[in-house]
Amino acid sequence: MTEKPEWIRLTGNGSDDCDDNDCPNVYRTERGTFIVQGAGFTQLKVPAGELAVEIPERTLREAFRALGW
């Protein structure tokens, strides 16, 4: 995933056990929305044009801490 300049990466900036920047991440956009990067989750049928990703709880907690929540 290419990071856009207006996105704020909330996770994966520490010493996670990630290789080659391929770990689950949460980004916040300039519009206040979130983009989640993670492994595709195929056990849930979603509508055409949508995806489901699975990320660890620690990634969401890290994102919440980054936002001060």
pTM listed for this prediction: 0.74
* Boundaries of every domain in the chain: 8-67
Report the side by side order of strands in the sheet with 25-28.
Answer: 8-9, 25-28, 34-37
pLDDT tens for each residue of 4-29: 668 898 988 765 566 666 788 899 99
34-61 pLDDT per residue, tens: 999 988 899 999 999 999 999 999 999 9
